[in-house]
Amino acid sequence: MIEVLVVDDDTRVAQVNAAYVEKVPGFHVAGEAHSAAEALRQLETLPRLDLVLMDHYLPDDTGLAVVQEMRRRGHQTDVIMVTAARDVSTVQAAMRHGALQYLVKP
């Protein structure tokens, strides 16, 4: 099973993303977070995590800041940014800090 953490400030969007993940064979939602602080807490407490679906716009920080902090702490978990942030500098920074993919929400 691929264990996934879904991070989005909008609980409805997080639930939709989580439901989609659960429908993919071999994938399981290990947790949901709705803030940067909550995402970082879950990274430390979940027993196993293979993938993070990360929004950029969070109430207490940015998804990019979470990815940077993950890397600083030594977490090499794959990250896919799923966000409405479409400016080139954010996309480039996310990829530079190890995001596997960058998907823009409609």
- 56-84, pLDDT tens digit by residue? 999 999 999 999 999 999 999 999 999 99
Residue 3, both tokens: 């264990």
- pTM, two decimal places: 0.94
3-class secondary structure, 20: helix
Tell me how far apart the alpha carbons of residues 54 and 80 are, in angstroms, rounded to a whole number: 6
Tell me how far apart the alpha carbons of residues 28 and 51 are, in angstroms, rounded to a whole number: 10
- List the CATH code of the domain at 2-104: 3.40.50.2300
Which positions ≥6 away from 66 have C-beta within 8 Å?
7, 36, 39, 40, 54, 58
The pLDDT value given to residue 34: 98
Domain boundaries, the chain: 2-104
